[in-house]
């Protein structure tokens, strides 16, 4: 039995074997080495070779079967871990040429055997119709009620532990494509949840699935209400849109919303900065431990940022229009910290959900949905500033960059809706410009989902 499968059938087996492991080694190395050495390695990588590697899972293009299904365990942890897990489950189902049974998400971050997270139906957060419409022909999802009761589930246990390697995992998936297993109409993948599965798919495929994850109509209405509050505060402070201002992200997001909510009209341009502020106590402990782990390996990683460092770097964004409203996406345990509003310059006016007057909107929902609302507000911001090690920030930047590309903004430095990483120093002491390309000259800047984090280049 082969230990890997070559999906790009136009490339010879020998050539792919020779290309795969050296490139995989370089991909991993790129995320760990200092930026100066990283840039030298990037120059060595041919975009054509990277395209060959990235197309390995994209070559499986047959229409997804709607009469055969695959089910995955409950998806747990934070919002963006769950989004990655949904995408990984959908891409696994695509590889098996099966429809994914609508997965169960989780309401909260915390989950263990004795206190499992409360289930959250997928369609309480995302629109199932929008998912299937946007991903038609690429991946498919169906409610369990649509599965024929005549189909008997065959349970396939996912391996775990160090001995369960990437190769063994892929070999198991290949076995599931063979007649002995494939003849079964219903596969139930049992064991660890999808976020912990080995990863076999290129980021470009993940990004394509992320585009299909559209909030439900009711949640999009909540997002509109929150933006309305921002618009009211902006008007009250005399911070209306200026002639010539561009808001590619805002316009694109609202176009998507209008298609699903015909009763919502296109709002006037709204300028605001969104900052994903990671300064809560558990995060600071986690990032310090991670920095120390890198130091023990002789590497340097700048992950943690104090509140004052974040404020200082936000104020030094080169294209920041002043005065501006700054929306702070922060954890609930920081909402009663009055010092959060202190230290900002007079031309940067900070708001979090409590001060903005939308705490009740968030309070109507469990944690995962609250995070999804914050995600949308950050996604639609004129400028977004986050932490490059955070999965939340990374997925926001990935989607913003791809939306900029779809708006034909080929140069990240000229993008109408730029993103920055405040934990990394950039020009003139400000935050470093942050983005990722998916084609053309930036095609080798899209790095995979691995080690439980979405890692993107920052430059």
309-316 average pLDDT score: 96
What confidence category does residue 269 fall into, taking pLDDT thresholds of 50, 70 and 90? Answer: low
Residue 74 has pLDDT above 60, yes or no: yes
Mean pLDDT of the chain: 79
What confidence category does residue 241 fall into, taking pLDDT thresholds of 50, 70 and 90? Answer: low
Given a contact cutoff of 8 angstroms between Cβ atoms, the answer to whether 307 and 340 are in contact is yes
CA separation for the pair 114, 101 (Å, rounded): 26
Residue 259 has pLDDT above 90, yes or no: no
Is 411 exposed, middle or buried, given 0-12, 13-18 or 19+ CB atoms closer than 10 A? exposed
CA separation for the pair 362, 192 (Å, rounded): 31
φ/ψ bin of 452: left (φ > 0), alpha (ψ from -120 to 50), beta (otherwise):
left
DSSP structure class, residue 417: S
pLDDT single digits (tens) 158-186: 998 899 999 999 999 999 999 999 999 99
Greater confidence (387 vs 49) lies with 387
CA separation for the pair 373, 224 (Å, rounded): 10
φ/ψ bin of 428: left (φ > 0), alpha (ψ from -120 to 50), beta (otherwise):
left
Residue 209 has pLDDT above 60, yes or no: yes
Strand pairing partners for 383? 273
Of the candidate ranges 61-65, 66-70, 128-132, the one whose mean pLDDT is the lowest: 61-65
Residue positions counted in the chain? 459
pLDDT single digits (tens) 103-134: 999 998 887 777 889 999 999 999 999 999 99
Residue 358 has pLDDT above 70, yes or no: yes
What confidence category does residue 422 fall into, taking pLDDT thresholds of 50, 70 and 90? Answer: very high
Given a contact cutoff of 8 angstroms between Cβ atoms, the answer to whether 53 and 23 are in contact is yes
What confidence category does residue 417 fall into, taking pLDDT thresholds of 50, 70 and 90? Answer: confident
pLDDT for 270: 86
The angle that helices 367-379 and 217-236 make with each other, rounded to 10 degrees, is 50
**Which ranges constitute the DSSP H helices of 211-277?**
217-236, 248-260
Residue 282 has pLDDT above 50, yes or no: yes
**Which ranges constitute the DSSP H helices of 55-178?**
79-95, 122-125, 128-134, 166-176
250-260 average pLDDT score: 42
């Amino acid at each position: 039995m082969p230990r890997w499968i070559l999906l790009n059938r136009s490339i010879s087996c020998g050539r792919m074997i020779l290309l795969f492991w050296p490139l995989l080694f370089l991909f991993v190395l790129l995320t760990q080495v200092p930026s100066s050495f990283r840039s030298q390695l990037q120059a060595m990588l041919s975009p054509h070779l990277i395209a060959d590697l990235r197309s390995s899972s994209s070559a499986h293009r047959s229409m997804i079967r709607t009469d055969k299904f695959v089910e995955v365990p409950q998806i747990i942890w934070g919002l963006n871990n769950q989004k990655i897990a949904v995408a990984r489950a959908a891409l696994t189902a695509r590889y098996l040429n099966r429809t994914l049974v609508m997965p169960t998400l989780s309401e909260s971050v915390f989950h263990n055997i004795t206190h499992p997270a409360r289930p959250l139906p997928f369609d309480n957060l995302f629109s199932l119709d929008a998912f299937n419409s946007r991903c038609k022909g690429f991946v498919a999802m169906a409610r369990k009620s649509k599965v024929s009761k005549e189909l008997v589930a065959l349970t396939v246990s996912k391996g775990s532990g160090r001995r369960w390697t990437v190769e063994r995992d892929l070999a198991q998936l290949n076995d599931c494509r063979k007649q002995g297993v494939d003849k079964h109409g219903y596969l139930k993948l049992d064991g660890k949840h999808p976020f912990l599965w080995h990863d076999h798919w290129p980021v470009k495929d993940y990004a394509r699935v992320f585009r299909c994850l559209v909030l439900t109509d009711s949640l999009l209405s909540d997002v509109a209400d929150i933006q309305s509050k921002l618009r009211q505060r902006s008007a009250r402070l005399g911070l209306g849109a200026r002639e010539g201002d561009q808001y590619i992200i805002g316009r694109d997001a609202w176009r998507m919303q209008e298609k699903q909510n015909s009763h919502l009209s296109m709002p006037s341009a709204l300028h605001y900065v969104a900052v994903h502020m990671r300064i809560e106590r558990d995060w600071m402990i986690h990032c310090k431990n991670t920095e120390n782990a890198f130091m023990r390996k002789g590497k340097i990683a700048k992950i943690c940022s104090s509140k004052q460092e974040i404020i200082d770097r936000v104020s030094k964004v080169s294209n920041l229009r002043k005065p501006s409203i700054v929306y702070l996406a922060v954890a609930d345990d920081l909402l009663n910290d009055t010092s959060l509003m202190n230290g900002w310059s007079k031309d940067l006016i900070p708001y979090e959900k409590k001060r903005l007057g939308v705490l009740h909107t968030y309070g109507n929902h469990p944690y995962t949905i609250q995070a999804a609302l914050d995600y949308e507000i950050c996604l639609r911001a004129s400028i977004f500033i986050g932490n490059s090690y955070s999965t939340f920030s990374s997925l926001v930047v990935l989607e913003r960059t791809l939306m900029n590309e779809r708006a034909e903004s080929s140069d990240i430095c000229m993008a109408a809706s730029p993103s920055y990483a405040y934990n990394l120093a950039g020009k003139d002491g400000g935050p470093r410009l942050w983005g990722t390309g998916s084609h053309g000259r930036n095609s080798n800047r899209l790095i995979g989902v691995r080690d439980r984090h979405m890692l993107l280049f920052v430059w």
